[in-house]
Amino acid sequence: MHNPDLTTLSSLIKKETNARMRIRLLAIAHFKEGMSRTNIAIALKVSRTSVNKWVTSFLSKGLDGLAHQPGAGRRPKLTEEQRQELARYVELRSQSESGGRLTGREVQQYILDRFHHQFEHSYVYQLLKQLGFSWITSRSRHPKQSQAAQDEFKKTAT
């Protein structure tokens, strides 16, 4: 819908669940009613610059121009493939039969050795959390652990 009328805009405003998008739609509705951009900004308690951007974007792209455009931001140092490789490494190490624990410092060193990126120790834990790990899930099994022995103990303990 490139240039909706006021009744269509009104129904879109009522249906919209995103508060930011609702304000943008209200601004466009006021603009179509003939309100000045300054008065729209005052009525909606937003900056005139924002109203100018919304109206300009609406006039050139229609309703699609009002949708939130994510900022470019800085690109992550690790690509998605590298992040998946790191996740596989952590998963394999945490299930290792040789025992021991995978520490943040070991993950930090793996990233440096494998991908040539130096991360702060605290960021390594953030990265692991983003990948779906926690400090509990990175612990490996004891080498003498036996699932059969555990199941047998559960049967006799109850």
- Residue with the larger pLDDT of the pair 146 and 109: 109
Residue 155: pLDDT band (50, 70, 90) is confident
pTM more than 0.75:
no
Percent of the chain with pLDDT over 70: 89
| Long-range Cβ contacts of 131-139 (<8 Å, 24+ apart) | 131/83, 131/86, 131/87, 131/90, 132/87, 133/87, 133/90, 133/94, 137/94, 138/90, 138/93, 138/94, 138/101, 138/102, 139/94, 139/101, 139/102
Beta carbons within 8 Å of 10's beta carbon, 6+ residues apart? 29
Q: Note the pLDDT of residue 137.
A: 45
Q: Note the pLDDT of residue 120.
A: 93
CA–CA gap between residue 120 and residue 85 (Å, rounded): 19
Residue 140: pLDDT band (50, 70, 90) is low
Q: What is the pLDDT of residues 81-139, one digit of tens each?
A: 999 999 999 888 877 766 557 888 999 999 999 999 999 988 999 999 999 887 664 45
Question: Worst-scoring range by mean pLDDT, 24-33, 57-66, 147-156?
Answer: 147-156
Question: Worst-scoring range by mean pLDDT, 2-16, 24-38, 92-106, 108-122?
Answer: 92-106
Mean pLDDT across the chain: 86
